[in-house]
Amino acid sequence: MKSTLKISALVLAFAGLALGAKAQTATTTTSTTKTTNSSNGVILSIGVDAGIPTGKLSDSYNWNIGGSVQADIPVAQNLFVTVNAGYNSIQGKKDLRFVTPGGVITSDATNIQLLPVKAGLKYFLVPNFYVQGEAGAAFALNKSDVGFDKSAAFIYAPQIGYQFQLGGKNVIDAGVRYEGSTKFVSSVSDSKVNFVGLRVAYGFGL
């Protein structure tokens, strides 16, 4: 129930930010010439996310899959503020072997379910090619199942990407990022959730 309330609140907050940004940009007009990397409106994208765990996490987890929604809000030529919310399921390995005082046992790692919410900046260095940096929080939706003692952790995500133009304000946005977190278990330094991720999204102007 608590997780559902958190998700609902975050979705409403995200929608409010996007609508507010749309209203603000709708009342602002410029006489500058448009380029493929700037517009007078918000670009909303819906994407599929996938990744490969790194560091200690890769010992017990194979890969992650999820999705995200992102708003790109123009603030200057070739510069956007981004707001991103999504879902990640980190897939646990099967038949892991553990040595205990009673002998060797096997067990499956429980999938980690995260709700990341991030904001940042996106800048086009040349037409269609961009660098992006975001930071925020990842909320653990099943913290008791995976043994976390924290409900959320700070996350950061540097990214590079390319936008393929489809005509008008429609694009395919493909980006590769490294996403890292702080500890989800206060006393365990290896409880960070870090991975190299790929996002492929369809974007359209609001």
* 3-state secondary structure string across 14-72: HHHHHHHHHHHHHCCCCCCCCECCECCCCEEEEEEEEEEECHHHHHCEEEEEEEEEEEE
Q: What is the pTM of this model?
A: 0.77
Tens digit of each residue's pLDDT, the chain (206 residues): 444 444 444 444 444 444 444 444 444 433 333 444 555 689 999 999 999 999 999 999 999 999 999 999 999 999 999 999 999 999 999 988 766 676 677 888 999 999 999 999 999 999 999 999 999 999 999 999 999 999 999 999 999 999 999 988 899 999 999 999 999 999 999 999 999 999 999 999 98
Could you list the residue range(s) of the whole structural domain that residue 59 is in? 2-205
How far apart, in Å, are the Cα atoms of 147 and each of 10, 13, 40, 97, 138? 24, 29, 46, 18, 16
CATH no. for residue 105? 2.40.160.20
Write a three-state SS string for 135-158.
Answer: EEEEEECCHHHHCCCCCEEEEEEE
Q: At 115, which amino acid appears?
A: L
Number of domains forming the structure of the chain: 1
CA distance 91 to 29: 47
* pLDDT for 99: 65
What pLDDT is attached to residue 40? Answer: 60
